[in-house]
Chains A and B, each alone.
Chain A
């Protein structure tokens, strides 16, 4: 079977499985639609949370970011896992004890205020929609690339699939589908990693291969070899290169961690476990399943970089035969050239490929003495690394097809989880909670499905005309969640004296500061040319990139909230009792049957 047919088959089979599960587990009550009937075992829930959490950004992009940013990309590894500690220790058990369906519902009740609930809904929708646009774009690109259609058609197909299982199934359907998706994506991620680690270091565990020695008989450590190979060509040393500055890395990591604990589609998961004790361990199980991918990623990234460098620089740097002849380039190189994501230009006309850092002033003299006229790999899109990896390592076609199915599983599962969070906040918080409290359960369910369809259409529209950058969009979504939702939740549990005015003004101040900073550097609503300060590091506040600013927004949120709460009336007694009550597991409402 050729690669194309095989890809169709594998993707088709996995999709049939997801849709089959969605129909089988169709939700019939609002409880099942929003919270899977609270009948899901912690391990199963942890697995579904992991699939929900790991999006196209984790599956497709992250290893590529690691490959080219080395140590600097640690912010993603730590940032996208460390948030689970905050979630488990500071939020999950208390939100489960509280026993409602949505994040704004908690905020509205805890701060005895409809306004607080509406502000929370707005923050939640801003963060989730920003996130889902990025996913939609990823889905569109993946579908169009592998089903060989144009981008728009790919996006429509993706929207259709998301619609079917998210809208029909609700949380219950999504949970079971996501368990299947987790299995597909983790298998697809680790199989090529094991093969490649075995090839390069002789160790079948990529986690250990990272610290292992080369299998080529040189006895050199893999990372030492990589450092040597990249610095010889003027690139920064892999294991020490930083992203921006140490301060930027610190704030970036913090922003991603707090954002993790503030993103509604992850928090909503902890409403679906049977008991408070389960909420604590569910976060652990989720992180365990996430860690399998996240601890594999450093090996995938570094080994992909090494493979790439060695493919092009076949001999000694500077020697006549040292560079790969363009005519001899491997098949995967040709395949990716067709997509435009890998581009070559023969600047010095020698018919060979020179791939080096032409921005490095120290290396310029050397390059000139070799007769090199600039870096000839004019484009190496980092997002191709995970998808191209099996081809680079000459793995069989079924592995390549599997990776495609894995990438789609990652993107679809996250999009569905986010859409559910958006729809529940509209139908449950806005319509039932504020506009029409007497709405019947059936109509609420219907409204939820309409809201979800609307959100898919909106995200699809932005996906058709994407705000230009997808990776940035995802990081900004984290910043928005970090600066608004997390502080309000945390103070609601840990600060009994936090009151209505404090929470409301805190959320407004936090999200405003973050959005202002992002817009002034990235353009209003991300429209290029409308930024009033340049998107360059010299204009950044202490060198902090806009993608990392959510942590500063969170600090603003906490400060404003505490200051305002000091000068306004404390919360009424019954609210203080409510807080005392959620701090104790005993008496949690029993799990809904399913």
Chain B
């Protein structure tokens, strides 16, 4: 693998790792492990832990995928590995 390609792959792994850390924190962290302490904070009538488990994590997942798609497309161009 050439240096450029290796660099591209490392940047990809870095992006994916950051996004997966967020993925883990909102669902397993906020939604399950820390649900009780977070439930003491209320947004409207919903405890924050409950909210993350039932709605917040889903919204976050969506944002994560679109960030990934946008960042990767930019990365493809930066390293000149994009299609057409």
Report which A residues bind B (CB closer than 8 A): 66, 71, 74, 77-78, 81-82, 84-85, 88-90, 93, 207-208, 210-213, 221-224, 239-240, 246, 249-250, 253-254, 275-277, 280-281, 283-284, 287-288, 291, 294-295, 298, 580, 583-588
Contact = CB atoms under 8 A, between A and B. Distances in A.
Contact of B65 (A77, A88, A298): A88
Interface in B12-46: 12, 16, 19-20, 23, 27-28, 31-33, 35-36, 39, 43-46
Given A250-B28, A291-B59, A284 B43 contact: no
Closest 4 CB pairs of A and B: A221-B45, A211-B44, A74-B53, A284-B65
B3 interface: no
Interface string B49-70: 0110111011101101110110
Contact of B61 (A66, A74, A81, A585): A81
A573 to B, nearest CB: 12
A587 B82 CA distance: 8
Nearest to B45: A221
Given A253-B27, A281-B66, A585 B76 contact: yes
Contacts of A294: 58
Given A74-B31, A294-B58, 10 more contacts: A71-B54, A77-B55, A78-B53, A85-B19, A90-B16, A239-B47, A277-B73, A281-B65, A291-B62, A586-B81
B44 A221 contact: yes
A253 B12 CA distance: 26
21 contacts: A71-B50, A77-B57, A78-B27, A81-B61, A85-B20, A89-B68, A93-B72, A208-B44, A210-B45, A210-B55, A212-B44, A212-B45, A249-B32, A250-B32, A253-B32, A277-B72, A280-B73, A281-B66, A281-B69, A583-B5, A583-B12
A544 to B, nearest CB: 14
Contacts of A207: 55
Given A85-B19, A88-B65, A280-B72, A77 B54 contact: yes
User: From DSSP, what is the main secondary structure of chain A's interface residues?
Assistant: helix
A292 to B, nearest CB: 10
A88 B69 contact: yes
Nearest to A277: B73
Contact of A584 (B35, B57, B81): B81
User: From DSSP, what is the main secondary structure of chain B's interface residues?
Assistant: helix
A84 B54 CA distance: 16
B43 A211 contact: yes
A276 B83 contact: yes
Most buried by A among B1, B53, B57, B65: B65
A82 B46 CA distance: 21
B45 A298 contact: no
Nearest to B36: A240
B21 to A, nearest CB: 12
A280 B83 CA distance: 13
Contacts of B61: 81-82, 84-85, 287, 291
Contacts of B9: 583
Nearest to B54: A298
A81 B63 CA distance: 12
Contact of B58 (A66, A221, A291, A588): A291
Nearest to A287: B62
Nearest to B46: A211
Nearest to A580: B1
Contact of B5 (A88, A254, A584): A584
B20 A89 contact: yes
B71 to A, nearest CB: 10
Contact of B19 (A82, A89, A275, A588): A89
A275 B12 CA distance: 18
Given A78-B53, A250-B28, A291-B62, A223 B45 contact: yes
